[in-house]
Chain A
Amino acid sequence: GENVEQHPSTLSVQEGDSAVIKCTYSDSASNYFPWYKQELGKGPQLIIDIRSNVGEKKDQRIAVTLNKTAKHFSLHITETQPEDSAVYFCAASNSFGNEKLTFGTGTRLTIIP
């Protein structure tokens, strides 16, 4: 089955700097890669996703890049703000159903004011 590795497990950046979180996946048939943000005491929330027919997707300060050859994808957050502090999870799926999603182990991002 699919295996998703996520790095780093913790990340601290100065407010205003950029943050990058990386994930690798094992199943070359995977074609859907969402990123979820989990704030303290809450459930995860989808922030951006990308499909395998696209190499990059951007939404304001957040972007995701996908390298299918190397089987890795990354989350980029620019101009970080205190409200970006949270745990971020990547996931991968080779199927249309959410039940096929395999999640990474999470990255705790701390923005230092």
Chain B
Amino acid sequence: DGGITQSPKYLFRKEGQNVTLSCEQNLNHDAMYWYRQDPGQGLRLIYYSQIVNDFQKGDIAEGYSVSREKKESFPLTVTSAQKNPTAFYLCASSMAREDSPLHFGNGTRLTVT
């Protein structure tokens, strides 16, 4: 079955440590996205990539970094510079055309203490 795999489902880290969240898709989608979801807030875009080896900052990119070395993979690193990293992180992908909807993974819940 085609889809987006995010791993792990739950992640715990100590404050001051960098952590990398995995996102893999086998939908052959060109575009990939990272969103952050907090209680009572809508999804906020962190980074997106429309093509391999290229990515753009979203609305809340500070304290995060990404890479897009392969079409299938778009890992997100939450750095120690992120002031409030505890959140639910969602990865998504879509075709690079106007009417292509977002396909989301099942998310990673990151807890930093």
Contact = CB atoms under 8 A, between A and B. Distances in A.
A65 B40 CA distance: 24
Nearest to A103: B42
Tell which of A4, A91, A99, A106 has the most Cβ of chain B within 10 Å. A99
A99 B90 contact: no
A9 B92 CA distance: 24
Interface in A30-51: 34, 36, 41-46, 49
B102 A106 contact: no
A89 B102 CA distance: 13
A89 B42 contact: yes
A105 interface: yes
B1 interface: no
Nearest to B104: A43
B40 A105 contact: yes
Interface residues of A, number: 24
Given A41-B106, A43-B106, A99-B33, A89 B43 contact: yes
Given A42-B106, A43-B106, A98 B100 contact: yes
B40 A99 contact: no
A101 B45 CA distance: 9
Given A34-B101, A98-B31, A9 B106 contact: no
Contact of A98 (B90, B94, B105): B94
B41 interface: yes
Interface string A1-32: 00010100100000000000000000000000
Interface string B74-109: 000000000000000010101000101110111100
Contacts of B107: 42-43
Contacts of B43: 44, 89, 103
Interface of A: 4, 6, 9, 34, 36, 41-46, 49, 89, 91, 96-99, 101-106
Interface of B: 4, 31, 33, 40-45, 48, 50, 56, 58, 90, 92, 94, 98, 100-102, 104-107
